[in-house]
Amino acid sequence: MKCTACNHFERKNVWTCSNCGNSIEGGVVFVTGISGTPASAFLQSVINEAKNHQHKVTLYDIGELMKKYAEEDDPDVIWDRILDSNEKVRRHLRALAFQYITSEIKSNPNTLHIVDLHLSFRWHPYLTKGFEPHVLKEFLPYVRCFINLIEDIDKVQQNLAKTSWGTRKTLALLLWRDEELFLTDLFANICGRVNSFALACGEPPSMLERIIWHPEQKRVYLSFPITNILNDEDSKNEIFSFRDKLRELSIIVFDPYASKDYDDTYKKIEMEAIRHEVGEVTKDRDFRFIDQADAVVVYFPKKVASKGVDAEMNHARSTGKPIFLYSPEDLGGGPFAVPASHFRSDSNDYLQLINQKLGS
């Protein structure tokens, strides 16, 4: 973001200039995701949340803008098959859409502009562009952050099956979703290494509102055993109750259970051939959530083994993230266990500790 008072560039999403103290309003947030991701509904909830807090905000859907210009030029256009059209046609429609948004940003500098778009497509077996990097030049003074929305693959398949996309294979969607996240990070770097966040659609929309308008709030990744408590409703409810208490402390919590992709997709017959790949994608995604957090908060409702938690604690340690650990019992990890930065065996003490160290 560029401060209009002193022309100082802030490389992070802030609302006050660190150079002159002037208020920095407006800006742009790019939200990406593959087709079949319920971005429109999710972002509309974010908009409603933001307006309830008196934030000025406008949402743009690049696809809808392109469709509008296409129908104005040719009322008989078959929009559902637009990805079969010539690349020049799509590039022209995208240019018109972004010209409109650029004009709106300059006319309304104190409004936050959220742009919903796809960076890539796998309409055909190969990858095609959904965005031209040179377009970013117009937005450089305004970019606050990039957000990549991640939806469970089985839900993406269900959503696409209702459209002209039809039936799409799991592996192709896994690859495409990973490519969209990769491109999101790449374009964020092009804009001066601004923040790029991955966010599961299972998270509450209020979380994105806080990421955008409250960047001062600490972000944590909540790590807990999953496989060994799948049938233990009391343990799961205890974890979710703790998660909600964390959020009441004005802490942004990335919840791995907001995406049930691995559990649901793993059960499918077609997964036999790519089971290992899905496991690797799931692990990498959870590590990504740790990378974008300020700390890892580990919660063991009871003494159980968890290779996932062990791996997440090890990743947190290797990347310099502080680890907060709660367990009512001695986990007995042995000499090779990853040491926690902070440990409590009483849940109330644990919550107070986190509030003291990370709360607003």
Question: In this predicted model, what pLDDT tens digit does every residue of 44-60 receive, in sequence order?
Answer: 999 999 999 999 999 99
Beta bridge partner(s), residue 30? 115, 146
**Is 218-360 CATH 3.40.50.450?**
yes
Q: Is 85 left (phi over 0), alpha (psi -120 to 50) or beta?
A: beta
Write the DSSP symbol of residue 4: T
Cα distance between residue 69 and residue 77, in whole Å: 10
Question: In this predicted model, what pLDDT tens digit does every residue of 141-155 receive, in sequence order?
Answer: 999 999 999 999 889
Query: With bands split at pLDDT 50, 70 and 90, how would you rate the model's confidence at 260?
Result: confident
Distance of CA 204 to the CA centre of its chain: 11
- Report the pLDDT value the prediction gives residue 268, as an integer from 0 to 100: 65
> Right CATH number for 1-216 from 3.40.50.300, 3.40.50.1820, 3.40.50.720, 3.60.9.10?
3.40.50.300
330 — phi, psi (to 5°)? -70, 120
- Nearest to residue 202, comparing CAs of 160, 251, 162, 262? 262
Cα distance between residue 274 and residue 101, in whole Å: 41
What would the two tokens of residue 63 be? 């696809």
Cα distance between residue 337 and residue 153, in whole Å: 33
218-360: same fold as 1-216?
Answer: yes
Query: With bands split at pLDDT 50, 70 and 90, how would you rate the model's confidence at 262?
Result: low
Provide the sign of the torsion angle of the four alpha carbons 163, 168, 174, 176, taken in this order.
negative
Cα distance between residue 266 and residue 153, in whole Å: 11
Q: Helix or strand or coil: residue 74?
A: coil
Name the residue with tokens 């907001």: 258
- Hey, where are the domains in the chain? 1-216, 218-360
- Report the pLDDT value the prediction gives residue 20, as an integer from 0 to 100: 93
Question: In this predicted model, what pLDDT tens digit does every residue of 69-78 receive, in sequence order?
Answer: 999 998 889 9
Cα distance between residue 137 and residue 326, in whole Å: 47
Question: In this predicted model, what pLDDT tens digit does every residue of 203-218 receive, in sequence order?
Answer: 999 999 999 999 999 9
Pair 87, 132: CB distance under 8 Å = no
